[in-house]
Structure 1
Amino acid sequence: MVTVIDGRNLIHGRLASVIAERIMDGEEIVVLNAEAIIITGTKDKVFAAFKQKVDRGDTTKRKGPFYPRRADLLFKRCVRGMIPWTSTSGREAYRRLHVFVGTPKQFQDCEKEKPAEACRKITGKYTTLGAVSKFLGSNVR
């Protein structure tokens, strides 16, 4: 069974930890609207943290680690850090996660879920994963 989660206005780390637990339990999950996932903190600090991760890999010499720039891949990379990636069970769980920017046609009429753990009232400063992606130079909006 496939669970469809709408990522609009959900908190990045909380959503990633909920999804990591569920894919490790064998559930297949599809996340929609990855560009609208919220990252709390001041915009400058969030942008600097992601920029530092992207700059860590040297693409001219083909030396990693290579960090993604697209919003959907940024979210997948966050979930990847929360599962045992080096084990077989972690790799299989990672294959059960599908993340999309926007909403594809096949998921428009589906019933969408919003995990209660990731829904919090935002009282401070925040930015979206789409804004971070745009800052990093992604062409996918």
Structure 2
Amino acid sequence: MTIIDGTNLRLGRLASSVAKRALRGEEIIILNTEKCVITGKKRSVIKDKRDMRQIGSRYKGPFLPKRADRIVKRAIRGMLPYKKKRGREAMGRIRTYIGIPEEFKDQVKDLETLENAELGAVMKKNYITVETLSKEAGYIL
């Protein structure tokens, strides 16, 4: 079981690496999902999210999540063949949490981070956190 801290990790890179590991059979837990970041200008990221929510209807979808942990899990689902058995099984091996739940408080020192997904010093202002995106979508943490 691998526990990953999502603080300051790029969402797309986090999702792709977690999807690969889950397909290989690893059980993965992602904590602090609200602190993951999406690169790009804040206004354009929020506009893209709003435009996606306008597509379809409330009966047919697409059914897009508002909660921060569900946004991250949906991004991971996009990297998996979720309509096939192995993709569904891989999704079952992934758990996402907002913050750090009580059951993982004692394992805080063992949290793993992904080197290739870190935000880095280059991106100083052109990003938005998943928490901010979640609030813009209408979810209150």
Name the TM-score, length of structure 1 as normaliser: 0.93
Aligned length: 137
Report the 3-state secondary structure (helix = DSSP H, G, I; strand = E; otherwise coil) of the residue aligned with 1:14. helix
- Structure 2 partner of 1:66: 63
- Structure 1 partner of 2:129: 128
The separation in 2 between residues aligned to 1:120 and 1:135, in whole angstroms, is 22
Instruction: Give 1:82's match in structure 2, choosing from 79, 84, 89.
Output: 79
Q: Percent identity?
A: 41
The separation in 2 between residues aligned to 1:114 and 1:24, in whole angstroms, is 19
Instruction: Give 1:109's match in structure 2, choosing from 106, 109, 112.
Output: 106
- Structure 2 partner of 1:98: 95
The separation in 2 between residues aligned to 1:94 and 1:78, in whole angstroms, is 11
Residues 21-30 or 44-53, more deviating: 44-53
Residues 120-129 or 84-93, more deviating: 120-129
Aligned pairs for 1:33-72 within 5 A: 33-59=32-58, 62-72=59-69
Name the TM-score, length of structure 2 as normaliser: 0.93
The separation in 2 between residues aligned to 1:102 and 1:80, in whole angstroms, is 21
The separation in 1 between residues aligned to 2:56 and 2:111, in whole angstroms, is 36
Task: Show structure 2 runs of 5+ residues with no match.
Answer: none
What letter matches 1:133 in structure 2? S
- Structure 1 partner of 2:31: 32
Deviation at 1:107, TM superposition (A): 0.8
What letter matches 2:60 in structure 1? K
The separation in 1 between residues aligned to 2:56 and 2:101, in whole angstroms, is 31
Q: Which aligned segments of 4 or more residues in structure 1 are displaced greater than 6 angstroms?
A: none
Root mean square deviation of aligned Cα: 1.1
The separation in 2 between residues aligned to 1:122 and 1:128, in whole angstroms, is 16
What letter matches 2:137 in structure 1? L
Report the 3-state secondary structure (helix = DSSP H, G, I; strand = E; otherwise coil) of the residue aligned with 2:60. coil
